[in-house]
A and B are shown apart, each in its own frame.
Chain A
């Protein structure tokens, strides 16, 4: 296990280093510097501005400085909001994004698992067809379409929840639902397949042969074994949610990272774009790592085989 973690960490560091390097050189090649909006400055003034952002140094030195700064959590200063640090901006906006993501993840996976479980227990029955159909719709229809439907019907027509903005828990309802539908559908389909496979396995027959009742067979023997592989989809789901928040936050005008990111793209605020991208990358890599470790903790086969 220890060796495995070390190996994973090494890969993680290489990947991050590559992404950071790539990001840095990208910034160098992109049109648009702090000067692009101020090209009427005199040469001296330009030099002052360049020096202020450290852009007068040779590229290798800039690269070195950038990396050192990154290690200290300093991702530069926004072009747009004068002198505001990218790190501060991200930290200011992380709250709503995390809240939406967590709510959607928890609601989506738990409801999805229940739906999949019902499907598997009533295999080939009406409930199964109903929930499978729901899952196909949830998996196929893009979250922004759901967002539109919710906004128009639940928000505008029925007026049950606020259509946009942020503040009370009511504001989180519609964006959470719009985000939760995809993980719900995926969890439901995955749970159904896994559960059906588990229920067909020999050890379930062994359990039944012991006289265990249906409830015990399903929950004591079935669900636990079906849940283990479900962990593998949690990573991709979390990453999907990251993609989802970019869109959903914009539709519902939620002041999160995603909304800021899109704004920055439209205003060519490269330090924020790059900083947020790096942040996403770190987040992504950490999620994958955590899921991997979680898998090891939950499955006794992996936990013990590698502990020995």
Chain B
């Protein structure tokens, strides 16, 4: 030990009263600040948030970024492949290509040309395998669609659909509608669910009992069935989809809110506060709401992507938005019609809907971790 001969002068009493024996050595952070800091540290959640901001921005301004209208049909320019100047290397060069195989080179070449209506001026053929080594001959044909239609001045960034409508405009219009449906559905779920759960838990007793029996019966009904039945009764449209989604959607929120409030109501810190004479309003503001809010936010974050999915699902089974309105669901459904030859029609809405779902799920996971008191050290 290095302190072999401590200085005699050091053996004098010191007053400990004025110093920091009662000091709490960690900075005190409020619940929200702490949660926010942890959310910010969560890379996944931040990526999700960033992606969401970009996607929402595009949904707002995307449709007005080019000169095309979402309903503007023109069969002359139907099913144009995507073309973006500067992104030709990514395959967004406005061409279609095919690889044909046949027994002889000539046959393969003929097939390749036939594939694009023998419009030889705008087809470049490319022999991949001349068949001399006993294998089948392979010929690749690249067809410049924009040149063949004399539309070299135009750029359809995401291409066009079967009716010649610009897919960029429609994709972002569709995103906007899907997001609106999802946000409204989530908002209604929150309002109804929080009110129902809150009232049920707050009044307790017989009221709670009846309200819970009602929920138990509703929970037994598959929401798929309710949604389908509702859509059948109502005229198809944004409003009826929202109603169909919310008619059972609020139940999980109501259960979560009720459970949490019941749990909190009897917890010591609430009792302590009540014993000290806190008014109902204060207990509600300072104890109940902050502790329930985190759960509500998390649950909402999971509701939104599931609403987006359900909207798309309804479009798929023919109960979606009426034509010509676009939503991500109707666009994806449309894309499947010509998937084998024109995959781009499916590609863009599918990518957008996937990105939105991933972004929301990442953010929701991050929020759940950030608000989870168990994660606090």
Contact = CB atoms under 8 A, between A and B. Distances in A.
A277 B229 contact: yes
Contacts of A156: 339-340
Interface string A1-19: 0000000000110110011
Interface stretch (B52-60, B184-192, B263-271, B355-363): B355-363
Contacts of A15: 217, 220-221
A109 to B, nearest CB: 20
Contacts of A137: 358
Contact of A239 (B222, B309, B339, B357): B222
Interface stretch (B19-27, B120-128, B310-318): B310-318
A280 B343 contact: no
Nearest to A15: B220
A137 B357 CA distance: 9
Interface residues of B, number: 36
Interface in B307-345: 309, 312-313, 316-319, 332, 335-336, 339-340, 343
A280 B224 contact: yes
Nearest to B233: A26
Contact of B221 (A145, A151, A262, A281): A281
A250 B316 contact: yes
Contacts of B229: 22-23, 26, 277
A22 B230 CA distance: 11
Interface secondary structure of B, over-half rule: helix
A145 B228 contact: no
Contacts of A251: 336
A280 B354 contact: no
A273 B232 contact: yes
Interface secondary structure of A, over-half rule: helix
A264 to B, nearest CB: 10
A284 B219 CA distance: 11
B49 interface: no
B216 interface: yes
Interface residues of A, number: 42
A111 interface: no
Contacts, number: 107
B312 A136 contact: no
B262 interface: no
A198 interface: no
A80 to B, nearest CB: 15
B247 to A, nearest CB: 12
Contact of A243 (B224, B339, B358): B224
B212 to A, nearest CB: 12
A148 B335 contact: yes
A291 interface: no
Contacts of A247: 313, 316-317
Interface string A274-288: 000100110011001
Interface string A203-222: 00000000000000000000
Contact of A262 (B309, B312, B318, B353): B318
Interface in A137-173: 137, 139-142, 144-145, 148, 151-152, 156, 163
**Residue of B228, B317, B335, B343 with highest tally of chain A CB at under 10 A:** B317
A284 B317 CA distance: 19
Given A11-B220, A250-B316, A136 B232 contact: no
Q: Which 10 A-B pairs have the closest CB atoms?
A: A15-B220, A284-B222, A140-B357, A140-B358, A141-B354, A145-B350, A140-B361, A262-B317, A265-B318, A247-B316
Interface of B: 44, 216-217, 220-222, 224-225, 228-229, 232-233, 305, 309, 312-313, 316-319, 332, 335-336, 339-340, 343, 346, 350, 353-354, 357-358, 360-362, 365
9 contacts: A18-B221, A136-B358, A142-B354, A144-B332, A239-B222, A247-B313, A251-B336, A265-B232, A281-B225
